[in-house]
Structures are given as C-alpha cells and as structure tokens.
Amino acid sequence: MEIIRRKDIYKDPGGIITAKVFMYTLSTCPWCRKTKQFFKDSNIPFDYVDYDLQGEEEQEKIIDEMTRLGGAMAFPFVKIGDKIVMGYNPEKYSELLELNKGKQK
Amino acid sequence: MTVESRKKALRYLFQKIVDPLGYKFSPDEEMVDFLLEQEVMLEQKHGIPYCPCQGLTKKREENMKIVCPCIPFHREHFDAIKRCWCLLFVTKDVTNPNELKQIPFNEIKRGQDVR
C-alpha cells in the first residue's frame, strides 16, 4: 500500500496498519463528517471521539488537550502523527500524509 | 412546531440579523438546510439554537458566544475568512462558498503577526 511512508504516522508490523490519525469531532458538524469521509475515501484508518456526546468530565479533558496542543478549541480537530490540523482542510491532510507524493513526477 | 417550520422561522430571523452585519446565507442550499436542521435539534435539546460546529462548555458566558448567528462575537475571524465557521453565512460578496477555507483564528493571527 503506497500510503505507508512515514513511520511517525503508521506502523506496519506484520502487515497490520495501525492508525496514527485521531480526531475530535462534533456529531452535529457537517465539516467533521466531511473530514471523516475524507479519511475513509483515502483508505486511512482513524479513530475519533465526538466531543458533544461525552460526559462533562471527559469534555473538560478534551478541552485541555485541544488547547494545549492546538492553542484553541476548534472542530474538527485532527491529529496526524504529532501535527495538528484544525478545521476541514483536505489539502493539509494530504500534505501531512504525503498522499499525493506518488502522483508527482 | 415541526422541525421544518422551525427551520423556516430561524431562517427568517437570522436573515434580519446577519444582513446589517454584511453577511448572507451561503449559496450552498444543501449545507444551509443541514445546518439549520442541526440547530433546531440543538434548540430542542438545550433551548437555544447553538452553532452545530462549535463545542459547548460548562461556561455559560462562553456558550452565549456560539448562539447562532455568532458573527458579532467572532467578527475579526469571520471577516478574515469571509464565512462563519459553519459556512451557514458568508460575506455578501461571496459567490462560490466552496472556495472558502475553514481557517482557525489562531492561524490568522499568526499570519498577521508574521507580516
């Protein structure tokens, strides 16, 4: 699979792809849905947590993490390896995942 | 009141609020319809039509800043990206909402600081 290029994004021990893409999303937000769809369409495995469906205590933890890592609380909040992308930004996701690298000459 | 009739009512109300602010509904009708529906759901749950694309917290004063239309509380940010975070509203000069990127405010501020 051509997508496995960066060790900080994927591990491939014994052919098993381990997702290093994680996102905080809102169940009510169409841009969060589009973000999930982008990764599905790109065959990139990911995990996510819908912030609005969590309890108060968990939400507090998520706010702390988002503020610490991204400096703001903005959804969708996508972690690709150690990089953070806030907002729906397929170009940035592709760049970080090096999705288009194989297509370039 | 049905979801459809409440969507219509919110559309009528919001139009009157955003027009003097220099904004209009996005030309993407499908997106507008979806967002209004989410707002009606949020209103049914919380009693207030909050922005579906921003997270509620325990702080009431912060939550009040994401009641739709939240443009007055995010004026600098939304004016810079010509849209609200959801893309329910765009500035009046916008004809193609698909060209508008969802850029967080801290990135815009960082760009301004660099200049």
Chain A residue whose CA is closest to B30: A30
- Looking at every residue in chain A, the average pLDDT score rounds to 83
CB contact under 8 A, B102 and A71: no
pLDDT exceeds cutoff 50 at A74: yes
- Tokens at residue B92, please? 């009046």
Residue with tokens 């947590």: A49
- Tokens at residue B79, please? 């004016």
CB contact under 8 A, B86 and A29: yes
Chain B residue whose CA is closest to A77: B104
pLDDT at A100: 57
Instruction: Could you please state the CATH topology (level 3) that the domain comprising A13-103 is classified under.
Output: Glutaredoxin (3.40.30)
d(CA A39, CA A89): 11
Chain B residue whose CA is closest to A28: B52
Greater model confidence, A99 or B69: B69
Domain hosting B92: range is 3-114
Greater model confidence, A19 or A94: A94
pLDDT exceeds cutoff 70 at A2: no
Q: Which of B28, B31, B53 to mutate to test the interface with A (most CBs of A within 10 A)?
A: B53
CA atoms within 13 A on the CB side of B59: 7
- Tokens at residue A105, please? 């000459």
Residue A81 is classified by DSSP as: T
d(CA A83, CA B108): 18
d(CA B111, CA B79): 15
pLDDT exceeds cutoff 90 at A9: no
pLDDT exceeds cutoff 50 at A105: no
CATH, residue B103: 3.90.460.10
Q: What 3-state DSSP class applies to B52?
A: coil
d(CA B25, CA B11): 9
Read out DSSP for A45-104?
--EEEEGGGS-HHHHHHHHHHHHHHHSS--SSEEEETTEEEES--HHHHHHHHTTTGGG-
Tell me whether B48 touches chain A (CB under 8 Å).
no
d(CA A23, CA A85): 9
| Domains of chain B: total | 1
Q: How confident is the model over B43-79, as pLDDT tens digits?
A: 999 999 999 999 999 999 999 999 999 999 999 999 9
Q: Looking at the DSSP assignment, which residues form a beta bridge with residue A18?
A: A11
What is the CB neighbour count within 10 angstroms for residue A18? Answer: 10
| Residues in Cβ contact with B71 at an 8 Å cutoff, skipping those fewer than 6 apart | B18, B21, B23, B78, B84, B89
Tell me whether B89 touches chain A (CB under 8 Å).
no
Hey, which residues 19-78 in chain A have their CB within 8 Å of chain B? 26, 28-32, 51-52, 56, 59-60, 63, 70-75
Residue A18 is classified by DSSP as: B
- Is A61 in contact with B73 (CB distance < 8 Å)? no
d(CA A52, CA A80): 22
* Nearest CB to A56 within list B53, B58, B105: B58
Distance from CA of B87 to the nearest CA of A (A): 9
Predicted-assembly ipTM surpassing the 0.90 threshold: yes
Tell me whether A99 touches chain B (CB under 8 Å).
no
Chain B residue whose CA is closest to A87: B102
For residue B86, the chain A residues in CB contact (below 8 A) are 29-31
Q: Which of A28, A25, A35 minimizes the C-alpha distance to A88?
A: A35
